[in-house]
Amino acid sequence: MADQLTIRRAIHGDEAALRALWVQYAPRIDAVVRRLVGDPDQAADIAQEVWIQIFRALPTYRGDSQFATWAHRIAVNRTLNALRSLRRIGKAEVEIEEDTASVDHDGERALLAQTIDEAVQQLSPGARAVFVLHDVEGYTHEEIAAELGITAGGSKSQLFKARAKLRTLLKHLVDVPISQDSSHVAHLS
């Protein structure tokens, strides 16, 4: 937890204090940025913007919440703004439909991801944002709707499609077969 003295010194522009905050919180904050952005180079650029924004906003931090929570909110907002400015989030609704349609639900041709992080990178930006915010970061659909400028229903719809795709991509991690019924095909309806 960031101590108040470090934060006060950081507000006054003390480089050592600013660096101490960055050292302590960058592993967590940068992980969120990377998950939301996907592309490592873009993530690095956006993470830099995020930290500048956090430090610029530091005088407004009142200590009502934990510093990590406060900085995390800024990181998410700034990252989504950056993605929006890259015109990626704006096309989310269209992309998710296309992505979902292209998912091979039986998994035979799906490229399995080794980790959930790797699998998330294969989602479209919009689906990735919704999945990361809801299932990883714990945002509600209403909060996601406000952040992304979509409806709560739209957020749910994207989440469930994203989960369906991830379930296929991470088959080897989440499959613990109880039944040996090989006749089941997931997208039968």
Partner 1 sequence: MSHISPERLAALVDETASPDEASHLAACAPCADELAAHRRLVRLALTESTRETLPLNDWASLGAMLKAEGIISTAPTVATRLSRTQWAMRIAAGLVLVAGSVLAGRWSAGVNLAPRQQAAAPSATPAAPAFASPQDAMQVMTSAQQQYSDAATYLAAQDTTSHFIGLNVNTYRARLSALDNIVASTRAALYEAPQDPVLNQYYLSAVAAREATLRQYQAALPAKQALERY
Cβ-based neighbour number of residue 134 at 10 Å: 20
Whether the Cβ atoms of residue 72 and residue 133 lie closer than 8 Å to each other: no
Helix (H, G, I), strand (E, B) or coil at 66: coil
- What region, left, alpha or beta, does residue 115 occupy, with left being phi > 0 and alpha being psi -120 to 50 degrees? beta
- As a whole number of angstroms, the distance between CA 45 and CA 152 comes to 30
CA 25, distance to chain mean position in Å, is 17
Helix (H, G, I), strand (E, B) or coil at 111: coil
Residue 149 phi, psi (nearest 5): 70, 35
**What's the closest the beta carbon of residue 38 comes to partner 1, in angstroms?**
12
**What's the closest the beta carbon of residue 50 comes to partner 1, in angstroms?**
9
**What's the closest the beta carbon of residue 103 comes to partner 1, in angstroms?**
8
Q: Which of 1, 16, 87, 102 binds partner 1 (CB under 8 A)?
A: 16
Nearest alpha carbon to residue 149 among 81, 96, 82: 81
Type of residue found at 72: H
> Is residue 73 a contact residue for partner 1 (CB under 8 A)?
no
> Is residue 40 a contact residue for partner 1 (CB under 8 A)?
yes
148-167: contacts with partner 1 (CB under 8 A): 156, 159-161, 163-164, 166-167
Cβ-based neighbour number of residue 156 at 10 Å: 15
> Is residue 111 a contact residue for partner 1 (CB under 8 A)?
no
**What's the closest the beta carbon of residue 71 comes to partner 1, in angstroms?**
13
Q: Where does this chain touch partner 1 (CB under 8 A) — which range of 51-59, 60-68, 82-90, 143-151?
A: 51-59
> Is residue 130 a contact residue for partner 1 (CB under 8 A)?
no
> Is residue 179 a contact residue for partner 1 (CB under 8 A)?
yes
> Is residue 147 a contact residue for partner 1 (CB under 8 A)?
no
Residues that bind partner 1 (CB under 8 A): 8-9, 12-16, 18-19, 22-23, 26-28, 30-31, 33-35, 40, 43-44, 47-48, 51-52, 55-56, 100, 105, 116-117, 131, 135-138, 156, 159-161, 163-164, 166-168, 170, 173-179, 181, 183-189
